Amino acid sequence: MSHFTIAGLQLELNNQNNIYLIQKELELAKLRFPWVDMFLVGELATFGSSPANAQQLPGEAEKIYCKIAKALDVWLIPGSLFEQRDGKVFNTTPVINPEGEVVSRYQKMFPFLPYERGVDAGDQFCVFDVPDVGRFGVSICYDMWFPETTRTLAWMGAEVILHPTMTGTIDRDLELSIARTNAAINQCYLFDINVAGRLGNGQSIVVGPAGEIIHQAGERHEVIPVEIDMQHVRRTRERGMMGLGQTLKSFRDSEVVFPPYLEGQSKSEALRKLGPLEMPECSRKK
């Protein structure tokens, strides 16, 4: 099956328990767009941005989402929620299949430091297969600012990147450019779904494998159903973006061993000179 429909839900949310609001939105969206195969919700949509709401997984919220996925017969990526595990807190996205089973969980690799405090970094990439469709990868928000994350997912075979986001800051416009760039250089679909309302400023974006904008949302509530064509991904990777750059093939065939990955990022004298990763001070105090 080449065609598959993913709906991003850009929801206006508060810092509270939003799970039943999300359930209602999923049910209404499936009723309105019955052909949707998968739903993707924004980062930390369930309980908001406080690590104090962390719970163990599997937990009650995840069980509710499993029931919703099974009842609606859809794949469900319900954004993320804070997970408490082994004395640490992770920003975790479950991947739930139409049978209501959790097939994978992804822990955000790059917490938004120094602002996102009290959250630990994951170290495992997440790809999963939708039978007879293709391979999907998951990353979360700030992960996208590090090109190694999306490139690794593509290297692992991901043809679609699912990227829940919570951005309410003035750098959202830059993120739109980064989303397009990541999609183009990795020749994949990228669904960057933000939250809205008190938790984010919306402007979700869906990008195709040639870097083309399929849809860019406004700042309010939106349901974004997009039918993707996996043959478009495969054709773009085979023939090149617009019949031009075949970036993944060139990356595959290159014999360059990149020093940062061979020697380690911390070995860079230039990067060490940048100083500690900490909150900027008031300029008047310098």
Tokens (6 digits) for 153: 């997912």
What pLDDT does residue 131 have?
97
Helix, strand, or coil (residue 30)? helix
Annotate 67-95 with DSSP letters as a single string: HHHHHHT-EEE---EEEEETTEEEEEEEE
First to last CA, the chain: 61
pTM of the predicted model as reported, rounded to 2 decimal places: 0.95
Q: Which pLDDT tens digit goes with each residue over 128-142?
A: 999 999 999 999 999
Residue in the structure block whose two tokens are 């970094």 = 121
What pLDDT does residue 97 have?
98
What pLDDT does residue 214 have?
98
Cβ atoms 89, 83 nearer than 8 A: yes
Fold annotation for 3-285 = Nitrilase/N-carbamoyl-D-aminoacid amidohydrolase (3.60.110)
Domain spans, the chain: 3-285
Positions of the chain with pLDDT under 50:
none
Q: Give the whole-angstrom CA distance, residue 196 versus residue 194.
A: 7
Q: What is the dihedral of CA 72, 73, 78, 84, to 10 degrees?
A: 110
What pLDDT does residue 285 have?
64
What pLDDT does residue 8 have?
98
Q: What is the dihedral of CA 121, 189, 66, 12, to 10 degrees?
A: 80
Which of 112, 186, 104, 111 minimizes the C-alpha distance to 138?
104
- Phi and psi at 38, nearest 5°, equal -150, 140
What pLDDT does residue 286 have?
57
What pLDDT does residue 130 have?
98
Q: Which residues pair with 102 in a beta bridge?
A: 96
Q: What angle do CA 123, 127, 132 make, to 5 degrees?
A: 170
Residue in the structure block whose two tokens are 């700042």 = 219
